[in-house]
Structure 1
């Protein structure tokens, strides 16, 4: 009986190792994104009052077979504006390490905010985002809120919107923060803040890359 029990234990461990190996392979094949804080760049933008700069690193297996979209949804007074700002859409270049560097820059330009997205050193055009209209003597508070933890891989589920962060603007002199990764708190943040520009990405596998 002891010999039989020992044999069963060995088989169980072996099977467990096989499944663990498969699980790890499956996990390693899953797309992820991570918030890569770069203090020097971000501080320079803030110190010079240029705006905001934020950086990410994505791990996307078979990037050439994926259709990746980055956009900004703008909410004013709690209402989603009809026109979504399309920052970038397309497939990535095939990479051996499947890693891609991403960056978003928001620049103050007079009474405008200009957004520019960067993928692996290639920048998009500048896109204008709505800015709060101020009455005489009225001030504005602005801040960036991250939706991803720092230096921690977050899974990218295909077909789902992944919020990366939001640029918040308030004319009441304060910024109200919430956990943007939580659907309920996200809705609350949209209700309580004057303007929110929410950066998101979606990932899909496509049989044929659109032309």
Structure 2
């Protein structure tokens, strides 16, 4: 059965409302972290009661997961269809996105540190996320090596770990320096390990 105009309108309204909630949640989580975040404050900032917010997201964990999922889906869209060296350019595009929104950078810096505690609600998420990112970048570098685009002696697994460490470190530094650009440093690092010129769009 086709969706009625009223149903489509309600869906769009609900979708917009959820986006507003996620924007508000990102603001709060990026400022105080997960453990100190108040769902009441998030609800109040979008003129909702706690039951009203729970209608969209039943728990703080579900709300936080939705914030992360939205960012991850954006990253997946950037990387979609890319292979080998082109994936590396996609990683730079993601870094450009993050550099333009310091809230997301603060969010990951705060929560990733909090979640090192095995009892933290997001511990498993971040552990699995780091494992997935390392695996994906290692595979990307393997593909680049097979295509002859990786310099001799570059180990894909070790290089992937160094890239992630460099990216995380540069993002934290940038939080203390508004003029710092992690994109420039990441691009410079990648250029040192590949045999082709990496051209990044502004």
TM-score range, shorter chain: under 0.3
Higher Rg: 1
TM norm structure 2:
0.26
Is the strand fraction higher in 1 or 2?
1
Is the helix fraction higher in 1 or 2?
2
